[in-house]
Structures are given as structure tokens and as C-alpha cells.
């Protein structure tokens, strides 16, 4: 049921003077407010795109990342029908779920006009390193000046029954007699409740971190099992921590002035094959610093980069393919 919001000014002598709710005739103002200060709906969001074209012909109003590196769609209802807005945001989600790191970086670069890299923006917003593995999940937010009962029912059904990460936010607009403007915010579902249902009801439908054995099995199926096993057994004792993801295994070390835990190399068995080899994402600068070894020696003993990732703010970082166990042995001999 839609919540009624009323606002009073506490005047002299504890007298209450109600401020009447007004029609917000230009809902585009909400979009502008959200872009300028996305914290009015959540402190845990970084805007990376506005009016983002999808491959399906639609245009997402605002695209964000949260602190976990998950993509968040923020869509304005405007004059869309209840069936239209929910169908549209779900359609956008079907496109967003497959966005690669490279595509997200491209969207961000376009939004920031190449003046700020995505890792710089992420670090500035959250005070944390931009995650190497991102978009393992996604969320949807419908924003409007009012939400009709049919939209409420659909959104609650998706959240309550299937643990879909979807919510609606309404902004109530007030204007006092002297022309001052006020804005209030109401969530259809308490955000913590959406998060709980997403992690519990929806957990079976989300990509989960694979076990070491599952990653090995995928590597075997993709024809890189021996290379992956050699890499895992060789890297395992040399790093401070190993983190499992839905598609990757990350090897991390404490380093830098703040002794931060940083990823040095990722292995991607699901994206590997017998022809190209075992895909890895590697930070050569970090590796040279962590193991106190010569960077040029590392580069000479690594397979060539198939793609460099400049947005990470490092001179040598990107994708390589380990084509044989000898490639792994060569690298291990340098860092041992």
C-alpha cells in the first residue's frame, strides 16, 4: 500500500503549519538530482553512466556500481505504465547481467569523458580498490514521484517470492507558501529487507563462488587442467590470500604504504580453452614489487599481453594466456 507522507513546519510557539504536497511536473528534475547526488537514494552507489544505450534498443536512465562491484540500474518511471516500467527494468537487467569489465569501463569512460578512470572514481567514492571481478550480481531501482498499486504488487512479488534485487523509491515534493521546496523519500521495501531476501531466497539463482575442485573440473573440461593445476599448486604458497569467485581465482598480497590486500593475479578457467591456454589477469608492477624482483625480467618470462587494461592506473596490467606448464614454471622460477 502506498504510504502517505505529510510535512509540517514547526513555527513559533510550537505551532504546526502543514506544508502542502505539490505536483512535481518535471520528473526529469529527479534524474538530475540523482546524478548530482546519488546518495539521496543510497550512499553505496557510484554513477558510471547516464542515458546508457543497450543492445536491445533501450536507454537506461542511470547506471551505477555499488561497493561490491555489482551493477545497479536506476530507472525513472515518468509516464510509463505499471506493466511497462517493470518489463523495461527487467529487460535492462537481462542486458546488464552480461556486461564485461571492458564494457563497464567503456561506459564509465564515456560518462567521465576520459577525465577520470573507473578505478580512480571507485577509489574516490568508496576508499577501496576497484574490484578485479565485477558484476557478479545486479540490482534494479525504480524511481518516481508516485508508484501505483500494480507496480507495487509486481515489485514485491519479485522480491518476496524470488529474491530479485529490485525496489521502488518515491519522492514526495512539497512547496511552502513562500516558495521554498522540500523533498522526501520513501522506499517501497526496506533496503535491508531486499538485501536479505536477495542473499537468501535469491542466492540459489545467483552465481556463487566456485570451490577449488569445481574450478579444477572446469579447467579439465576446457582442456587446461594440467596448466591450471600447476599454476594453483605453484602460486598457492607464495601469496597471502586466495579468493574464490564465480568465474575466477584471485591471488592476493599485502603491500604498499597502507599494507593493503591487493590482487596480483587472477586465473579464469571458465574463460580458457585448449587452443589459447589458461586465461590470467596480471598486475606486473604489483608482482615485481611484492616479490622484489626485476619487472623487465618478469615481462620477459611471461606470455605476451593479449590485452592491456590502461584504466587500472598501472603501466603493465591486463590479460595473458599461459599456453603450457612451462609458462607457469618460468614465472614461478622468477618469483621463488
Q: Sketch the domain layout of the chain as residue ranges.
A: 7-205, 212-335
What pLDDT score was predicted for residue 203? 55
Q: Can you list the pairs that 329-336 forms with residues at least 24 positions away whose Cβ atoms lie under 8 Å?
A: 329/230, 329/234, 330/301, 330/302, 331/234, 331/298, 331/301, 331/302, 332/234, 332/235, 332/238, 333/301, 334/291, 334/293, 334/297, 334/298, 334/301, 335/238, 335/287, 335/291, 335/293, 336/238
Name the residue among 166, 161, 150 with its Cα closest to residue 1.
150
What pLDDT score was predicted for residue 202? 66
Residues 20 and 6: beta-carbon distance below 8 Å? no
**What CATH number belongs to 7-205?**
3.40.1350.10
- The per-residue pLDDT string of the chain (336 residues; one tens digit each, 9 = 90 and over) reads 456 788 888 887 788 888 887 766 556 778 778 878 898 998 889 999 999 999 988 999 999 999 888 999 999 887 676 678 888 999 999 999 989 888 999 999 999 998 988 988 988 888 777 887 788 889 999 998 778 888 889 999 999 998 899 999 988 888 888 888 888 888 999 988 888 788 777 654 445 667 888 899 999 999 999 999 999 999 999 999 888 877 788 898 888 766 777 888 989 998 899 999 999 989 898 899 999 999 999 998 899 988 776 554 556 778 899 999 999 999 999 998
Unique residue bearing C-alpha cell 587446461 = 224
pTM for this prediction: 0.64
Unique residue bearing C-alpha cell 590470467 = 280
Amino acid at each position: 500500500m502506498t504510504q502517505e507522507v505529510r510535512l509540517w513546519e514547526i513555527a513559533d510557539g510550537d505551532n504546526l503549519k502543514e506544508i502542502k504536497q505539490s505536483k512535481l511536473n518535471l520528473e526529469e528534475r529527479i534524474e538530475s538530482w540523482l546524478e548530482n547526488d546519488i546518495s539521496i537514494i543510497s550512499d553505496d552507489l557510484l554513477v558510471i553512466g547516464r542515458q546508457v544505450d543497450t543492445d536491445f534498443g533501450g536507454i537506461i536512465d542511470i547506471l551505477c556500481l555499488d561497493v561490491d562491484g555489482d551493477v545497479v540500474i536506476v530507472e525513472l518511471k515518468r509516464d510509463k505504465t505499471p506493466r511497462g516500467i517493470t518489463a523495461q527494468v527487467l529487460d535492462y537487467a537481462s542486458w546488464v547481467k552480461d556486461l564485461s569489465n571492458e564494457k563497464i569501463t567503456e561506459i564509465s569512460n564515456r560518462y567521465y569523458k576520459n577525465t577520470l578512470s573507473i578505478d580512480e572514481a571507485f577509489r574516490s567514492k568508496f576508499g577501496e580498490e576497484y574490484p578485479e571481478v565485477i558484476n557478479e550480481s545486479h540490482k534494479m531501482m525504480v524511481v518516481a514521484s508516485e508508484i501505483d498499486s500494480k507496480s507495487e504488487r509486481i515489485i514485491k512479488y519479485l522480491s518476496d517470492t524470488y529474491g530479485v534485487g529490485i525496489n521502488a523509491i518515491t519522492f514526495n515534493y512539497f512547496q511552502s507558501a513562500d516558495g521554498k521546496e522540500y523533498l522526501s523519500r520513501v522506499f517501497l521495501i526496506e533496503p535491508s529487507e531486499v538485501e536479505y531476501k536477495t542473499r537468501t531466497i535469491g542466492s540459489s539463482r545467483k552465481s556463487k563462488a566456485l570451490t577449488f575442485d569445481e574450478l579444477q573440473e572446469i579447467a579439465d573440461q576446457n582442456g587446461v587442467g594440467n596448466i591450471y593445476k600447476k599454476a594453483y599448486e605453484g602460486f598457492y604458497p607464495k601469496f597471502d590470500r586466495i579468493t574464490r569467485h564465480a568465474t575466477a581465482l584471485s591471488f592476493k598480497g599485502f603491500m604498499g604504504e597502507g599494507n593493503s590486500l591487493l590482487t596480483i593475479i587472477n586465473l579464469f578457467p571458465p574463460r580458457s580453452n585448449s587452443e589459447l591456454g589458461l586465461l590470467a589477469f596480471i598486475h606486473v608492477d604489483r608482482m615485481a614489487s611484492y616479490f622484489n624482483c626485476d619487472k623487465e625480467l618478469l615481462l620477459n618470462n611471461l606470455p605476451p599481453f593479449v590485452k592491456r587494461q590502461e584504466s587500472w592506473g598501472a603501466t603493465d596490467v591486463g590479460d595473458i594466456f599461459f599456453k603450457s606448464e612451462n609458462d607457469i614454471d618460468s614465472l614461478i622460477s622468477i618469483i621463488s
